[in-house]
Amino acid sequence: MAVNTPIVNGTSYATVVAYSKDSYQKAVEFYSKLLELNVSNGGICSDNETLLSNSAIAVKVSLQENENKQTEIDNQIKYLNSISKTNDWRSHVNQSLVFNTTDLESLQDAFKQLDYPNQAFPSDLLPMQLYTIDPLGNIIGVTSTKNAVSTKSNLPGSSTVSGTAVATATHTPGSVSKNHSFTDLSYLVKTSNNYPSLPKDTTPLAQKKSIAVMTSGGDAQGMNSNVRAIVRSTIFKGCRAFVVMEGYEGLVKGGPEYIKEFTWEDVRGWSAEGGTNIGTARCLEFRQREGRLLGAQHLIEAGVDALIVCGGDGSLTGADLFRSEWPSLIKELLDNKRITEEQHTRYQHLNICGTVGSIDNDMSTTDATIGAYSALDRICTAIDYVEATANSHSRAFVVEVMGRNCGWLALLAGIATSADYIFIPEKPATSSEWQDQMCDIVAKHRARGKRTTIVIVAEGAIAADLTPISTADVHKVLVDRLGLDTRITTLGHVQRGGTAVAYDRMLATLQGVEAVNAVLESSPETPSPLIAINENKIVRKPLVESVKLTKAVAAAIQAKDFKKAMSLRDTEFIEHLNNFMAINSADHNTPKLSEDKRLKIAIVNVGAPAGGINSAVYSMATYCMSQGHKPYGIYNGWSGLARHESVRSLDWKEMIGWQSRGGSELGTNRVTPEEADIGMVAYYFQKYQFDGLIIVGGFEAFTSLHQLEKARESYPAFRIPMVLLPATLSNNVPGTEYSLGCDTSLNALMEYCDVVKQSAASTRGRAFVVDCQGGNSGYLATCASLSVGAAASYVPEEGIRLEQLQQDITSLGESFERAEGRNGFGKLILKSTNASKAMSAEDIAKIITAEAQGEFDAKAAVPGHIQQGGIPSPIDRTRATRLAVRAVDFIEKSQSTLEVTRAGDEDYNSDNKELADTATVLGIKGSHVAFSGIRKLYDFETEIEKRMPKVIHWEQTRAIADHLVGRKRV
């Protein structure tokens, strides 16, 4: 690469050399995408040379074919990639090409979206310089500093990229080309100055695409959030948004009464409302071809190009059938002159997309359906209530929950409430077997001192001969065979009632945004997509295949092939069932493992309290007991151990009720092992001969694990498998996208916001500035903002710029001017406590009131430690159990790796990666449950001083939260 005389004053003209045709084409594409350069009109463009430029930058790509040099370049790129996490690239090349930019954030996002290898300095979180590798092996940098500087190396033996040089130029802000992520709306950020802030759109109305949404089948909490996201995302994309009232019945009836165009304001406040505001109905007419013919005619008359259906498997089956018949339907309409030739030509294809709204969570290929966790929340709340009265009278309660062909609600509720027995359709027993099994378990629990008995029955519960099992049948057995004072509680439609929990609001919103992306990107050949979630990742699945698998489960049950029915369920369902059976048996049955494989496992809580900590400890301890291990609780953290030897073996009877209890029964604090006296900690580990350690907690727990792993060289007692289960409302632990307690906290904050928003709506002309916890992490404020539709949120990662605050105040005023109806007057602004050291929530409220000049006012609202939550949410309870069992399994499997090294120092190699990785963080990354070694996380993926991971996994959620409320970003 050579630096030539600037062709225009203030810019640089650089030539880069390619040594193969393939790398030549890739280089042209690289510079075009990264810097949005175009082939210069008056410049060179041939098979061997291409001049790329914009108003500020000129780069010439030259081809000089040379196989040997290309091999060198390939090796160079491979080498640089291999050291990307450990070495500074600039110290391994002679020179680098660096450009100035005033918009480093956009370029950092571009590196991620285009999947370019990259290094950021001084950190990924707040970079001033970014570097990547071009297809020719050159190190290419961008900087926001005043002067772009190359780093030269004279180190002996350092690798060299032939002929690299430095050039400084100016990069036009916002000119980055991106591959758009599924949650990224930000590539349309050229928004207007008015509220709502939408992309400027000059497309004539007649040429705009139209997207309709409908809800069908049974209602589910979160459907309103889904409709809101689809309507607003459609408008944001420059399309027209329609809703079909009353499900398929509205399609068949048609007309403006049933197929309505919606505006931005029509869906205001819908996230906080239960049920579905656009109605749902099962329609027999649509099952007939004539009904579908009418539906097609009415969609064409309304000008709809795509249809998004939120419903269960029956609704989605109907939607896909509708799409497959579409060509023949519109031909028949044309032949019968019910549509014009022009309409026939324009509406040749109907794009369909499905989002699953079902409280049963019975759709295959997705971990959760919209409404399922809200229904589970209702069930767990009801069971917590009835267990209190059951304890008073030493009663048994038989609780019936929904679930015709799927036992997910009964299974998860069984785990979350420590139920004694559950009945689900996927795993029936013969009539005599289930009676014997249930009575055996209940009798053992009662004999060990448990005063309550909870049995959960799914409405589709059956015996192995397909005979239904009713709550009355179970009641009779408990009374006749065990003599228990027994009551029946049928929850019924309470399970569908109320507003959605935070998870369902977020799931429905993110799926709604992705559904709009999917229909706009679909072609006539694209199979109809279903928007699903796997672990923490929103994904697209083939709708037909998902429905087919779902129906196959019901068919297998009817055929009495229960083994096949279980195999067709997702692996997570099977995992939950195995976990329930294991923790439910505790020490009541013969342990699974032989005596030589039984271990002593210590459990400790470190950090602030968080919902789900007790659930995790309970599940670990009871699972250990069922395996044959001996669980020990370290009470009051490391300081309790070092000062008071606070170690006790955990007893099943003492832990009854922990699964649904908030706080930390073991006690917790923020003291790390080094602060407590790591030598004493090692002494007690040696004294009790612990074979494994599970730490449950937040960033202090993360630091504790790092200290213990680092101390292994000096203290053989720490050469045991150690696992961290992240538990903190901040969700700031590196190595995971989910921490125990953040869902409980988010629900507590969401409910608080709903209440103060109601107060604001009643007062009119009032906004509340809500102070959110979370330390240096804006996760809580961001997700709460998405869940409650806050007008703005401020987080530590961004800080509070005065220009942005002024814009938000202006937008608030415009929003109040447009407000119609009571919902329109409830405004919220969320602020993380650490978003600004200069301005508190109270200060911001005063500024807003002053700037509003009497047109509206603002008050501060500080929920404080309410955000730590009370009773843990079902998500935190069930995930705690799942992760706890995984942690114990990891300790079992890792024993052999460390066993030899405990004998003496000479056997331990601290640089051995396999040994180092036995100290690990157990978390959820994207669509996987993952174990990540603490050493790598601590050294390379953590901002230690900020107590934060370098990569913010929820960053794109902020863009969606802002776009769906029409926030103008400065």
Mind telling me the catalytic residues? 360
Query: Any binding-site annotation on 315?
Result: yes
Query: Any binding-site annotation on 866?
Result: yes
Query: Any binding-site annotation on 268?
Result: no
Query: Any binding-site annotation on 601?
Result: no
| E strand residue ranges, 72-164 | 97-101, 118-121, 129-133, 139-143
Query: Any binding-site annotation on 459?
Result: yes
- Buried b / exposed e over 323-342, threshold 16 CB at 10 Å, is bebbeebbebbeeeebbeee
Query: Any binding-site annotation on 766?
Result: yes
For the chain, counts of helices (H) and of strands (E): 29, 34
- Helix H or strand E segment including 745: helix 742-763
Query: Any binding-site annotation on 495?
Result: yes
Query: Any binding-site annotation on 895?
Result: no
Amino acid at 365: T
Query: Any binding-site annotation on 402?
Result: yes
CB neighbours (10 Å) of residue 486?
21
- Helix H or strand E segment including 13: strand 13-18
CB 361, CB 372: distance < 8 Å: yes
φ/ψ of residue 768, rounded to 5: -115, 135
- Helix H or strand E segment including 490: strand 486-490
Task: Give dist(CA 466, CA 449) in Å, integer.
Answer: 35
Cα dist. 58→3, 24, 61, 99 in Å?
11, 16, 10, 11
Q: In sequence order, what are the beta bridge partners of 60? A: 15, 51
φ/ψ of residue 660, rounded to 5: -115, 25
Sorted by sequence, the CB contacts under 8 Å of residue 650 that are 6+ apart come out as: 603, 617, 621, 631, 632, 633
CB neighbours (10 Å) of residue 968?
21
φ/ψ of residue 142, rounded to 5: -130, 145
Query: Any binding-site annotation on 223?
Result: no
φ/ψ of residue 497, rounded to 5: -85, 170
Query: Any binding-site annotation on 868?
Result: yes
Burial class (CB in 10 A: 0-12, 13-18, 19+), 155: exposed
Task: Give dist(CA 217, CA 927) in Å, integer.
Answer: 28
Query: Any binding-site annotation on 732?
Result: yes
- Helix H or strand E segment including 937: helix 934-940
Query: Any binding-site annotation on 11?
Result: no
Query: Any binding-site annotation on 292?
Result: no
Query: Any binding-site annotation on 154?
Result: no
φ/ψ of residue 934, rounded to 5: -65, -35
Query: Any binding-site annotation on 171?
Result: no
Query: Any binding-site annotation on 404?
Result: yes
Query: Any binding-site annotation on 282?
Result: yes
Task: Give dist(CA 909, CA 900) in Å, integer.
Answer: 11
CB neighbours (10 Å) of residue 758?
14
Query: Any binding-site annotation on 218?
Result: yes
CB 387, CB 553: distance < 8 Å: no
> Residues in the chain, how many?
970
Amino acid at 196: P
Nearest to 402 by CA among 561, 220, 578, 227: 220
Task: Give dist(CA 786, CA 860) in Å, integer.
Answer: 20
Query: Any binding-site annotation on 358?
Result: yes
Query: Any binding-site annotation on 180?
Result: no
Query: Any binding-site annotation on 670?
Result: yes
Query: Any binding-site annotation on 774?
Result: yes
Query: Any binding-site annotation on 496?
Result: yes
Query: Any binding-site annotation on 576?
Result: no
Which residues are part of a known binding site for beta-D-fructose 2,6-bisphosphate?
Answer: 670, 728-732, 766, 773-775, 859, 865-868, 947
Query: What residues are designated binding site for Mg(2+)?
Result: 313
The binding site for ATP comprises: 218, 282-283, 312-315
Sequence ranges of the binding site: 218, 282-283, 312-315, 358-360, 395, 402-404, 459, 487, 493-496, 670, 728-732, 766, 773-775, 859, 865-868, 947
Q: Which residues are annotated as a binding site for substrate?
A: 358-360, 395, 402-404, 459, 487, 493-496
